[in-house]
Amino acid sequence: PRDKAGGYGIQALGGMLVEYVHGDFLNVVGFPLNHFCKKLAELYCPPSKHNVQHRKYDSVPSVDTFENLSDGEGESSNFTAHKAASQLDSSGMHSSGAVHTSENSSAVRTAFTVPLENQNGVSQSAAKLPSKILELMDGFRASKALFVASKLKIFDHLKDKGPMKAVDIANNVGTSVCGTERLLDACASLGLLEKTPQGYSNTDSANTYLASDGKYSLHGYIIHSNDHLWPLFTNLEFAVKEGSRQNHRAFGKKADDLFKDYYHSQEVKQRFMAAMHSIAHLTARDVATAFDLSQFQSACDLGGCTGALAHELVQVYPNLKVTVFDLPEVIANTSCFKPSGQHTALVTFVSGDFFKDSLPEADLYILSRVLHDWPDEKIHVLLSKISAVCRPG
């Protein structure tokens, strides 16, 4: 029968892995065989109502052993259920659901029950997939796909252009065609790109948030996440065991030396400030309106960097004046981030070190994305200092 032919054909051609997912079967490239074959049958041989048959089992036989389906030797073929990020699997295509092994596998029997049959003859699993856990397991793949695509500026190359073929994109960014195509497929599956027979193109979200010149571009923060945060979180196990920062393992430098690099190297400093600006610019409106701040006449944004939050605050609260207080090396490079408009006159920049210098007077002190950078003892010093200068009420 047509609804089984695809499954048998796949097994015959190299004993390829077949997975059980939500009452359908997927081959290693994530193709829904049953669904595809049934649709063909409906198109070419539409059954009458009285000819509809109900099958207790609508499946291809399970496979007892799995061959290595990767492109290279040494890669694991033990596929697990995952979503869009699995585009970068050894198959290079999307697959989802749990590995379906033989009936003798006790591991699978504990996770799934025998498929049940509903009134339409479609198999359904009595046990639900632990989708949240599976997303956490494979979430890093999606993140890295986004990071690499941003690092290569793929979204910039596709902005304001018609669909482009993978080979053309690869030539533009200087990468392999096969690797680029897999990355593009992953981005398309994640909803970052659109894929048509004509090629790949940006989604509206990619133009707005992922292109480096987008209105609310997160490009800077994505690059910061890839270059700085990713290496640190790779060493999370050591951080938990040792209870210490892992800058020395990730970058070969102490944390204090790393912060010096941020401000002593013009290139690194601009990159870091662009990262802080991109996330602050996007979230500023939500932060500014999270509480009613209309009672305050003045505010001081400690470590306010480019002033993205400060400029949003004075737009939301026209009677508010905001002082951005940050290191001299930061204040000297804020002009390129300054927006246009009369409201900018309500924002002033003052240089200083909030651990060492006196804080500007204000009715309200703001710490946004600051405290997590410092150890508890320094946080205590800073908060005590702010408490001492805060006005009653």
Q: Annotated active-site positions, please?
A: 372
In degrees, to the nearest 5, what angle opens at C-alpha 371 toward C-alphas 227 and 388?
155
The rounded Cα 332 to chain-centroid distance in angstroms is: 32
- Structure-token match 């990468």, residue found: 175
Contact 327, 305 (CB under 8 A): no
Contact 348, 375 (CB under 8 A): no
Measured CA distances, 10 to 38, 39, 66, 69, 83 (Å): 16, 18, 13, 13, 22
Closest CA to 359 of 379, 388, 335: 388
As to burial, measured by CB atoms within 10 angstroms (0-12 exposed, 13-18 middle, 19+ buried), residue 151 is: middle
Cross-strand pairs, 218: none
Cα 218 from Cα 304, distance rounded (Å): 18
What contacts 327, CB < 8 A, 6 or more positions away?
A: 263, 351, 352, 353
Helices (H), 252-343: 255-264, 266-289, 308-316, 328-331
Cα 231 from Cα 226, distance rounded (Å): 8
Q: Note the residue count of the chain.
A: 393
Tokens of 6: 């695809």
Cα 214 from Cα 277, distance rounded (Å): 13
Cα 14 from Cα 32, distance rounded (Å): 18
Closest CA to 306 of 368, 259, 382: 368
Cα 29 from Cα 16, distance rounded (Å): 10
